[in-house]
Structures are given as structure tokens and as C-alpha cells.
Structure 1
Amino acid sequence: MPLTLTVADEVRTLVPGFTHLAIEARGLVNGPSDAAGSALLDDAARRLAERLDGRAPHDDPHVTAWREAYTAFGAKPSRTRNSAEALARRALADGGLPRVNLLVDAYNAVSVAHLVPVGGEDADRIRGRMRLVRATGGEPFLTVAGGEEVVEHPEPGEVVWCDDEGVTCRRWNWRQGVRTRLTETSENALFLLESLAPMPTEALEAAGAELAESLEKLSPGARVRVGRPV
């Protein structure tokens, strides 16, 4: 059964231009980063540099829109950057993009190449409905601090993705929790691609199609379903 995702009216009212696209994949084969994944990331960094043509990531209109969205719910976008901007900055830096695992490398490459926030969740660890809401401040968020797992809580009014057990990603797409992250043993996954105006729907669909193609190449027997932008 497909996973259910909802976006609260209060989020759409806050940022009317928000659209998301979901990809559900079953029967994936994950594993350590390899040469093919590194090539994807290197190519994504090259495409990003060509797209920006010497500009900083925050000068891109789509990244600018995300900075405005973060400001709207009280975050400081220069300190807690959306995931696409954070990855883009790393891609352009001397150290380059991190290598995590096959699935994470695949979606990070799409995020960087298209300058669109992309997240991946282990579908087997999601509890109930996934929803994008403004937090009350009491929801649990499992993360790591000082090498140890700790429970934090979002700020009241913060935009978060959550399920029935707690927050899965804080500040919209800033930091993913450890409970649902993709590991080398993950077999079923949910990927979320998120856009704001002025990014056209067709551009979001192109990013989704590229990710779906990468997943099918990584796991030829996987069942990959791309949803419609919502």
C-alpha cells in the first residue's frame, strides 16, 4: 500500500508556492558508496558549477525562495540552510560532497544538479502517515549529539516533516532524524523532492525522473513509483 503524505493548510498558507513530489521504491539494494556513486556526485557538482556560472548558491532564485520560506517560520537561513543550499556549498568547496551510501549518494546528486531539496526515508521505519506541519514544540526528534543519540524538540511553529512517532526532519528539510534515515540495509524507501515558486513543475518532474532512473540502475529489480507533484 502506498505511503500517505499530507501537507497542513497552515504550511500552504505560510508558503503558497510549495510543491512536492514523492517517489516510493521497493526492493532496493543499498550498500557502501562506490565508484559509480562518486561519479554521479562529481557530475552533479560539475552541472551545478555550470548552472551557477560563478554565482553563490544563495543567488539562485529557487534557493532564494527557500531562504524566504525559512525566514517566514522563524529560522535563520544563513545559519540553518535548506538541504539543497547546504549540499551545493559543499559541492563547490575543496572537500566536495560526502560519500554516504549508494542510495543517499544518488539522491544527493539529484539535489545538487537540480538545486532542489531531496530527502530519503526508510519506508519500513515510518510509522503511520507522513505529514508536513507546523510543530507544537512537544514532538520528539531523535538525532545525534556528541556521538550519542539524543531526543530534541522543534521550536513551536517550526515547519517539520513527521509521522505518528515523531519528527523525521526538522526545519522543513534542514536536518533528518536518525530513526528513518537510509542505511546500507534499507530495502524500501520514500524519497521527497520539494520545490517552491519560481521553480516550474516540469523542472521538479525532471529531477524526479532522474532520481527514479538512478534507483532503477542501482537496483534493477526494484519497483519504483513516481507520484505526481502536489
Structure 2
Amino acid sequence: MFFEHSPQVWAQHPTLVAGVLYAEGVAGKPRAELPLAELLGSARRRLDGTTEAAFAEIQAWRRAFGRMGLAPTRYRCASESLLRRLRTSGDLPRVHPLVDLGNAVSAAYAVPVGILDVDRCGGGIEVRQARGDERYLTFGGVEEHPEPGEVIFVDPLGRAHARRWTNRQSGWSAVGDDTRTVLVVVEAMHDAAGRDVPAVLDALAAGLRHGWDAPARTRVLTPEEPRFEA
């Protein structure tokens, strides 16, 4: 399993800070209660009296989406969508314990967190611009083709595991009841990203240890060392 960003992505988004976490042994229900209430409570306190649009983390992704030619209020990064839902409805839906943990950490830190089932990733993921012939599977089971130039997560089989970078994950590698090994991707572009991305990785690793007693490997990627292998 590998994960990397293309040189073009690093060049076009020089403020990007990317981190990855790899963990095995996360099948089944957690053995202990996950810290969802604490994490979501932190997000709610930060939202008190303001909106997610004011957060530096979200503003940085909006600028990145603008550079990609995407309307930032039409296509939101994953963490903005979660915070918006938390602010308007008061809670986040429960999907799967691993996803719930990732969503809660993402909301608490206002940073996109993507969780991929390693066994469904085709051997590796590259974040690059789409050619347009890649195949993307919606959660509803419909296949789409990303637009040429769109930033995607793509495997060696030509399957896109995310569209519009951090906007929408694919059904190809969605976490399910049979998931045993995960690759978690954390990406940020704001000024404090160099501090916050490692903190997000630590929070995710702590949650996996607490819930599944699963050790995790983490790494922060750079343009000089852009590739993670497991």
C-alpha cells in the first residue's frame, strides 16, 4: 500500500501539509467508548457565536478550491461540511465507529480527514489531477468520470477514491463492517497546519488505541519525502 501526492499538486499548493495514518486490527465494534462527545463538544465551543466560514482552516481550503476553479460555497471541503451540519443540526449522524471517530476529529480540528479501507484501494493512492477517464463510484452505486484537471485520489486501476480533492469520497474504498485495515489521510493548508496536522494524527491514533487497541503508524509527508508505504 502506498500513498503520495503528485509533484504538480505540491507545486500548485505550496502551503499543503499532509499526514497519513496506517492501522491494522480495527475490525468490529470498539472495545471502549470513543471520545466522540469530547471532540464534538470542542467543535461546538469553537462554533459558538460564529460560523465555520470564519475559521482559518476553512478559509485556506476555500482559497484552494478557488484556485482549482471550484465555487467554494458550492463545493465544500469535508471538514467544512461536517461543521456546517454540526452547527445547523446540533450533531453529526452515526455511520460506522471508524467513520464517526474520523468525523469527530475532523470537526474538532476543522481539518479534512479521509478514511480508506486499504483492502479496497487497489494497492495504492496518488493525489493528482484527473485525466477524465478515471472511474468514480458514488455511495449510491453510480459510476462517474471526474472532470479533466480535477484533483482526485486515484489507484493504479484508474479508480478515483475521492473527487474534488477533499470534497467527496468514493464508494470504492468506503469503510464497512468487514474493514480491518485503514489508511487515514489528513490535509491542511492554513498557517498553523504544520502544528495541527500532527495533532490530528495523534488524536486519531489515540482513538484507535482506545477503541480497538490498534497500534498506528503515522507520518507527515513533504515535497521532498512525498510517499508513504506500508
TM-score, normalising length from structure 1? Answer: 0.90
From 147, 153, 163, give the equivalent of 2:145.
153
Residue of structure 2 equivalent to 1:42 = 37
For residues 35-85 of structure 1, what are the alpha-carbon distances to aligned partners after superposition, in whole Å with 9 as ceiling and x for unaligned? Answer: 934xx3333232113224422101111100100101111211111110000
For 1:43 and 1:113, the matched residues in 2 are separated by 9
Measured after TM superposition, the shift of residue 136 of structure 1 is: 1.2
Residues 1:141 and 2:127 are matched in the alignment: no
For residues 209-228 of structure 1, what are the alpha-carbon distances to aligned partners after superposition, in whole Å with 9 as ceiling and x for unaligned? Answer: 010010111111x2311113
Residue of structure 2 equivalent to 1:74 = 69
Give the match's secondary structure for 2:21: strand
From 166, 176, 186, give the equivalent of 1:193.
186
Residues 1:214 and 2:207 are matched in the alignment: yes
Which residues in structure 2 correspond to 1:17-166 (within 5 Å)? 17-31=15-29, 36-37=33-34, 40-94=35-89, 96-145=91-140, 149-165=141-157, 166=159
Give the match's secondary structure for 2:33: helix
From 3, 8, 11, give the equivalent of 1:10.
8
For 2:14 and 2:96, the matched residues in 1 are separated by 34
Query: Structure 2: which amino acid aligns with 1:143?
Result: T
8 A contact 1:118–1:194 mirrored in 2: yes
Task: Could you tell me which runs of 5 or more consecutive residues in structure 1 were left unpaired when the two chains were aligned.
Answer: none
8 A contact 2:33–2:211 mirrored in 1: no
- Aligned CA RMSD, in angstroms, stands at 1.8
8 A contact 2:32–2:210 mirrored in 1: no
Structure 1 residues 62, 85: CA separation in 2 closer, same or farther (over 3 Å shift)?
same
Task: Could you tell me which runs of 5 or more consecutive residues in structure 2 were left unpaired when the two chains were aligned.
Answer: 223-230
Residue of structure 1 equivalent to 2:218 = 226
For 1:229 and 1:30, the matched residues in 2 are separated by 30
Measured after TM superposition, the shift of residue 95 of structure 1 is: 5.0
Give the match's secondary structure for 1:227: strand
8 A contact 1:135–1:154 mirrored in 2: yes
Instruction: Give the paired residue count.
Output: 221
Give the match's secondary structure for 2:142: strand
Identity %: 32
TM-score, normalising length from structure 2? Answer: 0.90
